[in-house]
């Protein structure tokens, strides 16, 4: 049988497949097995983020930050949470802590690139700001590729940037 961490990974797989009921069932087993596991708690945060449940993710991550605030995973979620709540100073601080703890945390660089592209996609910025944010995004994706050259997320995002730049020139 699976241990708690195995059930949490199963919950993530079910979430990615779109089966929230099966994901919730697997996560219940994970929590029953190992309620204090960092891996299970960050799995819960990942699922909450995927479902757009920032309130749930915030509760989980703020609790984790009290005991595990130095960990790159915790700071990744804190940066994402604070950015979504437009608390940019806190988001930047968590980003810095995340990459200081683990400089090769390519997920953090991809997330920051995504945040810059979201500003562009919002369409409410002047041309100079749009160009700046595209370059910021490209820089973060390039950094992600240095950390993990096979990062499909970073490679896909760079292709999207190339399409955006070509379309606007």
The helix-helix angle for 38-50 and 4-17 (nearest 10°) equals: 10
Residues 6+ apart with CB under 8 A from 52: none
Q: What is the pLDDT of residue 169?
A: 62
pTM as predicted? 0.81
Task: Give the C-alpha separation, 52 to 48, whole Å.
Answer: 6
Q: How do residues 20-74 score in pLDDT, each as one tens digit?
A: 999 999 999 999 999 889 899 999 999 999 998 999 999 999 898 998 889 999 9
Can you tell me the mean pLDDT for 5-32?
96
| Location of structure tokens 């993710």 | 57
What's residue 151's pLDDT? Answer: 93
């Amino acid at each position: 049988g699976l241990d708690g961490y195995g059930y949490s990974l199963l919950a993530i797989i079910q979430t990615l497949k779109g089966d929230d009921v099966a994901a919730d069932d697997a996560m219940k087993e994970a929590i029953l097995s190992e309620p204090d596991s960092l891996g299970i708690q960050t799995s819960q945060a990942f699922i909450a983020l995927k479902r757009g449940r920032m309130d749930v993710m915030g509760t989980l991550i703020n609790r984790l930050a009290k005991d595990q605030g130095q960990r790159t995973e915790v700071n990744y979620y804190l940066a994402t949470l604070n950015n979504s709540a437009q608390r940019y100073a806190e988001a930047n601080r968590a980003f810095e802590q995340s990459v200081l703890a683990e400089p090769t945390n390519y997920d953090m660089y991809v997330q920051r690139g995504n945040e810059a592209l979201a500003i562009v996609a919002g369409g409410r910025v002047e041309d100079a700001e749009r160009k700046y944010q595209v370059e910021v995004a490209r820089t973060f994706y390039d950094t992600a590729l240095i950390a993990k050259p096979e990062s499909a997320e970073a490679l896909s995002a760079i292709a999207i940037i190339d399409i955006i730049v070509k379309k606007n020139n």
